[in-house]
Chains A and B, each alone.
Chain A
């Protein structure tokens, strides 16, 4: 019994340390805008809202201004509608939405790192498709279970989103904020059976 108590304490300690470490990552990463004037010193509020205000939400509580009706160059069916794991990113990274829409004070636009002053075109041409169902039955793809469980690539609601490859909080410290190292193209080959 005593042993169990010690173990529990140790576990709590480890979790705290780990949590603190994770916190330390967003702090100072490229996504830490707290030192920017327009963010008002808020680390989370740039992306997250404190209350559920945007239907439908299943993940974190996103800022309400996310443009959920955006179509990405071609008409999308419901199943092709990107989820929050994409929409929140696209708000800034498509180069059309002003960053002050988040709550900043300066009328300043993000220079999109991917498409400078260009709307994201039809997915599947110049960018890896997002918001698509993971093609689990198609030839050349690993089973979803291998992707998520063994490969540690999240497929939110069975879809491929930005957050499948990228970790916005930069916890893994891999370049391009990748969710894991792409050495030997390990990230690509997690899904692609090539």
Chain B
């Protein structure tokens, strides 16, 4: 009985010992087992030792792990990026040891313990392409050979502190990053000899601390990435966006787009490959191709995350407005004006230019993102309509100190907009995307993605907006304006007393008198340019007056004013109007208008 117990205990202990010995995957039978019995396609023809390909007990190369190979004397092309703060140097130490095979230039069987004339005979002389051959061009691989130290993390606040990193991953003797920081050449338990699992990009996130990542759609989305739906050239390791994480867009080695290690050379392909109805919910690619839109396919290689908005060359890419590391889903409402002007999920952590013209790394308001290109930028779009006052700088047009403006950067002080459809009211604030949006946007009642991606209407407008003279008035013709300004109110002359006459009878479009963005106070004054009056000079002609040929509007109080110009062959000279609702004398206005009509 006692004997049995002893035996049993002995067996148990043996089992425990055996389990302990087997717990870690061994190099034996891993891809790095290059012996004749190794599992990979690259192995020795006869040699049956496992360690000898890298290590030797005697007469090793003078570097620490009894190295059995010559170091490559190659000059490598190293990683370069406009946004990196690391000082990247030629690879050294353990990295060079890895590269003695993995740069594809040195014979695999050439070891120090064998004479040069009699190397170990291998199935492949050097590392064959696409089997871990990084080539001597390391610019398309994650950078190595830079010091991951406090100096670096002080400058780049999207990197974790050294103490935190070294808890998970080893750095070199001088704190530099090596191949061995991420890879353990002896243990292939997790695949690719990784030191940590790369599921949900745990490995990447050990160093990279991206602002907004943990809540970002790209970090939490469970959308399927099966097959080659993300990258036609490579099957992704995991089945969902959240599991693949970084590797949905980035390739850590031999990336087609070297700078920033992206999967695709063309910037937009990295986004639209999924956002074309294949993986993501909305087909943004379809919006981009519409009549007017932010055509991200127009330029390649122009966008640079380090660019300054004021001097950059004209371009638009997805990442100009979206930060893929922080982008979040936004379940927004569909009523204009309730969206609010602060930046929401899809545009979080994107740089911008404030209404005062100051660059900011993180836009607070949505319009600040638009101002990057449509504000002071030298590459901003040209003028579309020739008006009394020309201004292409949209930032200036929306200044809240202007004589008149649409309330994007702040509410208006005036209370002369009786046509507003609730919940909009005097004092409401709208956003650029209330007017400029995809015609199919959910916020406009469609089924597509929100945002100014592309529209079947000119100027990327969310609804139809006719600008041609003699347009027959209809709800459809000025659908954009009527979205906020009640058609009934306008045509019942509740604000400007002659709206119906101008729009319906004489068929003048809204845009002939009104400049939708605003009139910069440095160019116009509150008397001549209140109520967004800035005449379209292709329709409005000067009128002969005693003081010369003039096109003038004059504000004479709430909902009243005078006009001097020739329009549709009809000359107004100080032609007055006033709204009865505003307290103007109807008889006086009638008599005046009769006189003018004569």
Q: Which residues of A contact B (CB under 8 A)?
A: 114-115, 121, 124-128, 142, 146, 165, 182-185, 188-189, 192-194
- C-alpha spacing A1/B17, complex, angstroms: 41
8 Å CB contact of B49 from A146, A184, A192, A194: A184
Q: Are A185 and B49 in contact (CB under 8 A)?
A: yes
In the complex, per-residue mask of B57-96: 1 if CB is within 8 Å of any chain A CB, else 0: 1111111101000000000000000000000000000000
How far apart sit A185 and B52, CA to CA, in the bound complex (Å)? 8
CB distance from A135 to the nearest CB of B (A): 14
Which residues from chain B sit less than 8 Å from chain A, CB to CB? 17, 21, 24, 26-28, 35, 37, 48-52, 55, 57-64, 66, 186-187
CA distance A49 to B27 in the complex (A): 44
Contact between chains at A184 and B21 (CB < 8 Å):
no
**Separation in Å of the A142 CB from the closest CB of chain B?**
7
Q: How far is the CB of A180 from chain B (nearest CB, A)?
A: 13
Whole-angstrom distance from the CB of B168 to the nearest CB of chain A?
A: 15
- Check B58 against A128 for contact (C-beta < 8 Å): yes
Contact in complex: A194, B58 (CB < 8 Å)? no
Contact B51 A114 (CB under 8 A): no
List 11 contacting pairs A-B, 8 Å CB cutoff, sorted by A. A114-B58, A115-B59, A125-B60, A126-B58, A126-B60, A127-B60, A185-B49, A185-B51, A193-B26, A194-B27, A194-B186
User: Nearest CB to that of A140 among chain B residues?
Assistant: B186
- B-side contacts of A128, CB under 8 Å: 57-58, 66
Q: Knowing A182-B49, A188-B51, A193-B24 touch, does A125 contact B64 (C-beta < 8 A)?
A: yes
- Could you tell me if B60 and A188 are in contact, using CB atoms closer than 8 angstroms? no
Report which residue of A125, A128, A184, A192 has the largest number of chain B beta carbons within 10 angstroms of its beta carbon. A184
Within the complex, what minimum Cβ distance (angstroms) separates B48 from chain A?
Answer: 5
A114-B59, A184-B49, A188-B55 known; A146-B21 Cβ under 8 A: yes
B28 pairs with A185, CB closer than 8 A: yes
Which of chain B's residues have a CB closer than 8 A to the CB of A183?
48-49
Q: Nearest CB to that of A125 among chain B residues?
A: B62
Asked if A146 contacts B35 (CB within 8 A), the reply is: no
Task: Kindly name the residue among B21, B24, B37, B57 whose own CB sees the greatest number of chain A CB atoms within 10 A.
Answer: B57
A184 in complex: contacting residue of B48, B58, B62, CB < 8 Å = B48
Minimum Cβ distance to chain A for residue B118 (Å): 15
Chain A residue numbers with a CB within 8 Å of B64 are 124-125
With A184-B37, A189-B26, A193-B24 as contacts: A126 and B59 at CB distance below 8 Å: yes
Contacts of B48 in A (CB 8 A): 183-184
Name the B residues within 8 Å of A184 (CB-CB).
28, 35, 37, 48-50
Select from chain B the residue with minimum beta-carbon distance to A178.
B57
Residues of A within 8 A of B27 (CB): 194
Cα–Cα, bound, A193→B22 (Å): 10
Which residues of chain A come closer than 8 Å to B37, judged between CB atoms? 184
CB-CB < 8 A to B21: which residues of A? Answer: 142, 146, 193
A194 to B21, CA, bound (A): 10
A104–B50 Cα distance when bound, in Å, is 41
- Complex Cα–Cα for A126 and B17 (A): 33
- For the complex with contacts A125-B63, A126-B60, A184-B37, 4 further pairs of A-B residues with Cβ separation under 8 Å are A126-B62, A142-B21, A146-B21, A188-B51
Contact of A189 with B50 at beta-carbon distance under 8 Å, contacts A124-B64, A126-B62, A128-B58 already known: yes
Closest 7 CB pairs of A and B: A185-B50, A128-B57, A194-B186, A185-B51, A188-B51, A126-B60, A194-B27
A183-B49, A184-B28, A189-B26 known; A127-B57 Cβ under 8 A: yes
Chain A residues with CB under 8 Å of B58's CB are 114, 126-128
Minimum distance in angstroms from A51 CB to a CB of chain B: 33
In the assembled complex, the Cα of A193 lies from the Cα of B20 at a distance in Å of: 11
User: For A183, A192, A194, which residue has the most chain B Cβ atoms within 10 angstroms?
Assistant: A194
Q: Give the complex CA separation of A188 and B21 in angstroms.
A: 15
Distance between B44 CB and nearest chain A CB, rounded to angstroms: 12
Nearest-Cβ distance from residue A192 to partner chain B, whole angstroms? 8
A121 contact set on B, CB distance < 8 A: 62
CA distance in complex: A192, B51 (Å):
10
Provide the residues of chain A in CB contact with B61, threshold 8 Å.
126
* B26 pairs with A194, CB closer than 8 A: yes
Q: Shortest CB–CB separation between residue A136 and chain B, in angstroms?
A: 14
CB distance from A120 to the nearest CB of B (A): 10
Determine the distance from Cα of A127 to Cα of B61 in the docked complex, in whole angstroms: 9
Q: Which residues of B contact A193 (CB under 8 A)?
A: 21, 24, 26
- Return chain B residues, CB-CB under 8 Å to A114: 58-59
- Give min CB distance, B170 to chain A, whole Å: 11
Distance between B185 CB and nearest chain A CB, rounded to angstroms: 9
Query: Which residues from chain A contact B60 at a C-beta distance below 8 Å?
Result: 125-127
Q: Which residue of A lies closest to B112 (CB)?
A: A126
Distance to closest chain B CB from A12 (angstroms) = 30
